[in-house]
C-alpha cells in the first residue's frame, strides 16, 4: 500500500451544484502533495472528503487503507481548516497541551509543536490577543501536535511573512522526509513549486496530477504559473486540444 490517499470517481454536490466532478487520483506517502486551483474550484471540499466530514454523492475515498472518516483514522489524520480552530480564551501553550492530551501526547510534544511553528515567544499569550497569522500558526501547532501520519493543511501559509513561509515549508519537507504524508492547498505558485507532486483542480475537475517538473515539461514552459494557464486554456471549450478530445471520443 504505497498511497496514503486513493480517490476514485469522487462526485460531490453542495447547495444543489456539482462541486467535485468525477475526481480520481492518489496521494503518495512520505511526500508533500500540493492541491492547487482558483478560489471556489473545490480544494476545501476535496480535503473535507479526505478527512471524512463531507457528504459525497458518489465515489470512494480511501485513507491509509481505510474508508475516509473511519474511527481508526482519528489519531492518524491531522486537519488544519482555513478558519483557526483553537480556543480563544486559552493561551497558545494551553491549547497545544489540550490537543496533545487528546492524542496521548505530553508537554514536551506540545512545546515542540509550538516551536515548530515559530510561536515559542507567544506561548503564554491568550489566542484572542494574537495576530491573524499567529492565530493560524497556533491552529497549525494543534493540528501537528499528535504527530499524525497524514496531515491535511488548507492554506497553512496565508498571512505569514516570507521568512515564516520558508520556515514552514522547510518543516513540511522535514516531516515528509521522516515519513509523514502532507496534502497542502495553496493559491500561490511559488508554493506549488515547493511540492513533490501537484494536483490542479479547476471547476471541480482534476486537470493535472504530476510533479512540478513534469507539468512544466508537458506545457513546454519553465514558469509554473504559465504552465497552469496553458493547461487551463487547453481544457476550455473551443481550444484546439479540447476539440481534438471531443473528436476522439
Ligand atoms: N456549505 C456550502 N454550501 C453550498 N455550496 C458550498 C458550500 N461550501 C462551498 N460551496 C461551494 O462549493 C464550491 C467549492 O468550494 P471550496 O470551498 O471547496 O473551494 P476552494 O477551492 O477551497 O476555494 P478557496 O480557495 O476560495 O478556499 C464553491 O462554488 C462554493 O461556493
Q: For residue range 35-76, list pLDDT tens digits in order.
A: 998 889 999 999 999 999 999 999 999 999 999 999 999 889
Residue 196 domain-assigned (yes or no): yes
pLDDT value at 10 more than 70: yes
pLDDT of residue 234: 79
Whole-angstrom distance, CA of residue 247 vs CA of residue 249: 6
Whole-angstrom distance, CA of residue 50 vs CA of residue 178: 22
CB-neighbour burial class of residue 226 (10 A; exposed 0-12, middle 13-18, buried 19+): middle
Residue 137 domain-assigned (yes or no): no
- The verdict on ipTM greater than 0.85 is yes
Cell of 153: 493543511
Residue 206 domain-assigned (yes or no): yes
pLDDT of residue 35: 96
Atom nearest to 187 CA in ligand 1: 25
CA-closest candidate to residue 126, choices 115, 138, 141, 108: 138
Please, which pLDDT band fits residue 229 given cuts at 50, 70 and 90?
Answer: confident
CATH code, domain with 27:
3.40.50.300
Q: Which residues contact 215 (CB under 8 A, 6 or more apart)?
A: 198, 200, 208, 224, 227, 228, 231
- The range of the structural domain enclosing residue 216 comes to 3-71+188-248
Atom nearest to 41 CA in ligand 1: 21
Measured from the CB, is residue 106 less than 6 Å from ligand 1?
A: no
Residue 216 domain-assigned (yes or no): yes
Residue 201 domain-assigned (yes or no): yes
Whole-angstrom distance, CA of residue 228 vs CA of residue 133: 28
**How high is the mean pLDDT of the chain?**
91
pTM over 0.80: yes
Residue with CA at minimum distance from ligand 1 atom 31: 40
Rounded to 10°, the helix 224-235/240-248 angle is 50
Residue 35 domain-assigned (yes or no): yes
Residue 231 domain-assigned (yes or no): yes
pLDDT of residue 241: 54
For 174-188, what is the mean pLDDT?
A: 93
pLDDT of residue 100: 96
Measured from the CB, is residue 39 less than 6 Å from ligand 1?
A: yes
Number of residues in the chain: 249
Please, which pLDDT band fits residue 187 given cuts at 50, 70 and 90?
Answer: confident
Cell of 243: 476539440
Classify 211 as helix, strand or coil: coil
Q: How many domains does the chain have?
A: 1
Residue 109 domain-assigned (yes or no): no
Q: How far is CA 178 from the centre of its chain?
A: 18
pLDDT of residue 31: 97
Q: How far is CA 202 from CA 19, 41, 105, 232, 233, in A?
A: 10, 5, 39, 8, 11
Residue with CA at minimum distance from ligand 1 atom 16: 42
pLDDT value at 14 more than 80: yes
Amino acid at each position: 500500500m504505497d498511497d496514503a490517499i486513493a480517490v476514485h470517481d469522487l462526485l460531490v454536490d453542495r447547495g444543489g451544484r456539482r462541486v467535485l466532478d468525477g475526481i480520481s487520483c492518489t496521494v503518495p506517502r512520505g511526500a508533500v502533495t500540493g492541491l492547487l486551483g482558483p478560489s471556489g474550484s473545490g480544494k476545501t471540499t476535496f480535503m473535507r472528503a479526505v478527512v471524512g466530514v463531507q457528504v459525497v454523492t458518489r465515489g470512494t475515498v480511501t485513507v491509509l487503507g481505510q474508508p475516509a472518516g473511519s474511527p481508526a483514522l482519528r489519531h492518524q489524520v491531522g486537519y488544519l481548516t482555513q478558519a483557526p480552530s483553537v480556543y480563544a480564551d486559552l493561551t497558545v501553550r494551553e491549547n497545544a497541551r489540550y490537543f496533545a492530551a487528546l492524542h496521548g501526547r505530553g508537554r514536551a510534544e506540545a512545546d515542540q509543536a509550538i516551536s515548530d511553528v515559530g510561536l515559542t515567544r507567544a506561548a503564554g499569550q491568550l489566542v484572542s490577543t494574537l495576530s491573524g497569522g499567529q492565530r493560524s500558526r497556533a491552529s497549525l501547532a494543534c493540528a501537528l501536535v499528535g504527530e499524525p501520519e497524514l496531515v491535511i493543511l488548507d492554506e497553512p501559509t496565508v498571512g505569514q511573512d516570507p521568512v515564516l513561509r520558508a520556515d514552514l515549508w522547510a518543516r513540511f519537507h522535514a516531516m515528509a522526509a521522516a515519513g509523514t504524508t502532507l496534502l497542502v492547498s495553496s493559491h500561490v505558485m511559488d508554493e506549488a513549486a515547493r511540492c513533490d507532486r501537484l494536483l490542479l483542480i479547476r471547476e471541480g475537475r482534476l486537470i493535472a496530477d504530476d510533479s512540478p517538473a513534469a507539468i512544466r515539461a508537458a506545457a513546454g514552459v519553465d514558469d509554473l504559473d504559465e504552465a497552469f494557464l496553458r493547461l487551463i486554456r487547453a481544457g476550455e471549450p473551443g481550444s484546439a486540444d479540447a476539440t481534438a478530445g471531443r473528436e476522439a471520443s
